[in-house]
Amino acid sequence: MGLILPPSLSRRRLLIGAGLSGAGLLLNGCGTSLGSRRVGQLTEPLNQAIEQLLLSQSPVPEFPISAIQPDQLLINTFDETPQLDPEQFRLVVDGEVNQPMQFSLADLQALPFKDMVIRHVCVEGWAAIVQWGGVQLQTLAQLVQPKAGVRYVFFTSADGYYESWDLASSLHPQTLMVYQKNGQPLSVDNGAPLRLASPIKLGYKQSKWVTQITFMNELRPRLGYWEDRGYEWFAGL
């Protein structure tokens, strides 16, 4: 995430989703610390606008396992690398939602797993093909049930880094909260216990050491650490 020069990037059309009224996905086997209650059937369906949004999102073509470049993903740091205890780690998901929740790492690992082999692109000019594994952010949204009117998602990291995304990009099927890299547990340098990863955004949008995800109706005055210093906000690929 460390950057040198502001990018000169053409702005893409801002994709802003409508709100979520609820969720309709069966998620079983979650850990015991999900608000001290069992997660069962979520029966309230997604509203029509969000259903259409999700159906319209095409996945980015992925690479075979053999294409992974294990030595190409550079370690960029924003500040000091935080040392988070995986046993004590909690991800807070809150904001304009009907069911704010906290997830331990075990809770996240009990949710449906997804992995992808994609190209990570840094604005500094380098790229690497990486396999990421974790839980779709879409799945967490279905659990917490964002309210109608939500259009943005704000990510807070343990090192003080912060980012914001539009809702449509956040709900893309290849936007993951990851705890694995190349089939192995994520390293601290790469953002463990939990980081954001997606093939649809430049690297500086993909926060490491994420501890809080906040659904919002309006953007905060702080857009993102580098965006507040002149970088493009959308930063799509």
Mean pLDDT of 197-209: 96
pLDDT over threshold 90, residue 100: yes
Please, which residues bridge with residue 195 across strands?
A: 178
Q: What is the per-residue pLDDT for 80?
A: 79
Taking the C-alpha atoms of residue 192 and residue 131, their distance in angstroms, rounded to an integer, is 15
Tell me, yes or no, whether 94 lies in a domain. Answer: yes
Helix H or strand E segment including 168 = helix 167-170
Mean pLDDT of 148-171: 96
Tell me, yes or no, whether 13 lies in a domain. Answer: no
**Could you give the percent of the chain with pLDDT greater than 90?**
66
Tell me, yes or no, whether 21 lies in a domain. Answer: no
Tell me, yes or no, whether 170 lies in a domain. Answer: yes
Mean of all residue pLDDT scores within the chain: 80
Tell me, yes or no, whether 12 lies in a domain. Answer: no
Tell me, yes or no, whether 148 lies in a domain. Answer: yes
Tell me, yes or no, whether 213 lies in a domain. Answer: yes
Q: What is the per-residue pLDDT for 192?
A: 97
pLDDT over threshold 50, residue 213: yes
Give the list of residues 6+ apart from residue 60 with CB closer than 8 angstroms, or none: 118, 174, 199, 200, 237
Q: What is the per-residue pLDDT for 20?
A: 36
Instruction: Name residue 85's amino acid.
Output: D
- Is there a contact between 213 and 170 (Cβ–Cβ < 8 Å)? no
Domain region containing 84: 48-58+67-229
Taking the C-alpha atoms of residue 141 and residue 195, their distance in angstroms, rounded to an integer, is 16
Tell me, yes or no, whether 157 lies in a domain. Answer: yes
Look up the CATH number of the domain holding residue 195: 3.90.420.10
* Count of structural domains within the chain: 1
